[in-house]
Structure 1
Amino acid sequence: MVASALVYMSRNGEFVSVHGASLRDGFKKVTIKKVYNGSENALLPVPVGDLEILNDAKSSFVQWPQSNIHSPNEKNAREEEAHESTNSTQPKTKPLDPTTSRFLGVKVSLEFRQKWRTMSLKKLANEARVLKTSATMINVDIEEHVLHREQKCMLSYEDLIHWCDEEEISASHIALFMRYLTELVVSIQCTTSYGFLCPTSLSKFASFENEDDRSDYIVKAMTCTGCERGRKLVFAPYFEGNHWMLAAINPKDSVVYWCDPAGTREPREFLKDTINMAITKINSMDPEKCQQKELEWKIIKFMFKAPKIYSVQQIDEVRDIWATYALQFKAEVFDGNV
């Protein structure tokens, strides 16, 4: 429990708003009465203007998840009333009677977990609650210049909570992060240097009719206006057995850097064949300028000066970037059409 509050008892069919905003599905309109010790800096489930933390919202109307609103039993209510009367010189107010008032005294709670260490992660967890109670999803358009084909990135309640809890990373997480990285590359004017493949493009279950079509897609990502033979590096994630790996393809020098965080898996033969086919197609575009050397695969166990084990702070830095970026997009009702 983080606070005691008064919940507004709306009539059937009544339109309820909070500071001009429509009440979200699964939420109730409450006014914060008392904030319990240690909960002063808890984030509001739905921020209101400049009000983001619980302590700032005392005596103000806010939206609260109905699942986190609890009616105290009579014993607890009497104990709280007695505690307030002995610690206050103000005249005691009579408790509100729900039969004559449209407000009912309740207690409210929040669910914040130990791994939600930063403000952005806590905000993301709040947004996840909104998705769950309102049956909505975050829909992000991935433009063609990002992954070289248009697609939609659908973020569900589970996607957001898994990111907050450091659980399984999905293709949606990776695709959104690549969208962020593409914007970063554009901002520093390095679009001809770096590119990205769709996180599922190297999977055997990707929607390609054959390996020739898959290699054509890789060629499209590698070649771009302003590049002599293609991009300097194309980053191609690969997922297998709940484990993400990365192929960093350097078409100019005919080198692929294979990165496995666990350091235990060699690249699959079908991956080698498909990427080799793509490099061969690039070389055939301008054979006079190409060195026509065989594609070399280099197994990278440790990236440059990167630490063998990342600290909690270093991991949280990346998690925070993703959370902050994801919060820019608004939830909408998902109609099943992708």
Structure 2
Amino acid sequence: MKTMMLGLKEGEHVKVHCTKRTFNMEKDFEISVTVEDTDQLLSGAWLNISIIQVFATALSELCFHDDCHPNSIGFMCPEMISATMLKSDADRILLYITRSMSALSSKTFILCPYYEKSHWMLLVLCLSKREVYIFDSQQKKRNLMIKEPLNNAFRSYKRLGGQSKGTKLTWIPAQCAQQPGSLDCGYYVMRFMYDIIMNHANSQDLTKDFSRTLPYSAEEINEVKDFWADYFMNNVEFLA
């Protein structure tokens, strides 16, 4: 992968195609990836949003095409639900989240990679149980900006379905692996998503089935890096 990107100059980028179904967008779009983004991934630096977007796209394609992995997982776009977008265009994001809930209502889990204040977390939404699991690799008390919009969107989603009861989400901190370094959060979010899809896609109790606090090993982190790189090298398009 590094050899592939060597021809790019600083600031130049390539693109990975993303269909609208991946993140419930209104149309297909392109994910821009710079040489700096891939250097960060290879060196273990803090991950930019494009890396997480490509990883979620790869997992979505796996769920969609591979019969071994039930199509029970949906995704929300990490860029659309980021704290930055919530600050700049809250009404648009509320509509996006509500629309995504309606489109993904049959899924067991909706994976929502979320970053706020330079920290990545994974929110796992279970609509049928009205629960949100917070996978935070640096667990501490946080007043998440997305909490109120997600609660409001859930109420709108339920009312659109003609239901006035059970419109409150329960937020549950998950017992998950804790990162040893200050820059590992993006890699842990990728691993959380990977583990849920590979091992817990049809879990009836994610807090019970997914319970681990020990850090991930270097081999476990390298596995998701390799998964990212394989998908990227097979789907990247160089700009003219």
Does the alignment pair 1:151 with 2:29? yes
Other-structure match for 1:219: 98
* Partner residue of 2:7 out of 92, 111, 130: 130
2: CA distance, partners of 1:312 / 1:330: 26
2: CA distance, partners of 1:163 / 1:210: 29
> Between Structure 1 and Structure 2, how many residues are aligned?
204
* 2:123/2:134 contact within 8 Å kept: yes
Does the alignment pair 1:259 with 2:140? no
Which one has the largest radius of gyration?
A: 1
- Identity of aligned pairs, percent? 23
SS of residue paired to 1:326 = helix
Other-structure match for 1:180: 58
Other-structure match for 1:246: 122
Under a length normalisation based on structure 1, what TM-score does the superposition of the two structures give?
Answer: 0.55
Other-structure match for 2:162: 287
Other-structure match for 1:317: 223
Could you list the per-position Cα deviations for residues 223-264 of structure 1 after superposition, in whole angstroms to 9, with x for gaps in the alignment? 23xx7x443211111112332111111122111111110112
Unaligned runs of 5+ in 2: 177-206
Deviation at 1:206, TM superposition (A): 1.6
Under a length normalisation based on structure 2, what TM-score does the superposition of the two structures give?
Answer: 0.75
* 2:13/2:32 contact within 8 Å kept: yes
Greater relative contact order (Cα 8 A, min sep 6): structure 1 or 2?
2
* 1:138/1:329 contact within 8 Å kept: no
Other-structure match for 1:276: 151
1: CA distance, partners of 2:165 / 2:86: 32
* 1:222/1:231 contact within 8 Å kept: no
Deviation at 1:132, TM superposition (A): 3.2
SS of residue paired to 1:239 = strand
Deviation at 1:296, TM superposition (A): 0.6
Deviation at 1:186, TM superposition (A): 0.6
Other-structure match for 2:73: 194
Other-structure match for 1:166: 44
What is the RMSD of the two structures over their aligned residues, measured on CA atoms?
Answer: 2.5
Deviation at 1:265, TM superposition (A): 4.2
* 2:97/2:150 contact within 8 Å kept: yes
Deviation at 1:210, TM superposition (A): 4.3
Aligned residue runs from structure 1 range 1-338, under 5 A: 124-132=1-9, 136-149=12-25, 150-188=28-66, 190-191=70-71, 193-206=72-85, 210-224=89-103, 229-268=105-144, 270-287=145-162, 291-302=165-176, 304-306=210-212, 308-333=214-239
Counterpart of 1:321, as a letter, is F
Q: Residues 282 and 140 of structure 1: is their aligned pair in 2 closer, same or farther, counting only changes over 3 Å?
A: same
Give the strand-richer structure, 1 or 2.
1
SS of residue paired to 2:85 = coil
Deviation at 1:307, TM superposition (A): 5.2
Deviation at 1:127, TM superposition (A): 1.5
Give the helix-richer structure, 1 or 2.
2
Deviation at 1:283, TM superposition (A): 0.9
SS of residue paired to 1:245 = strand
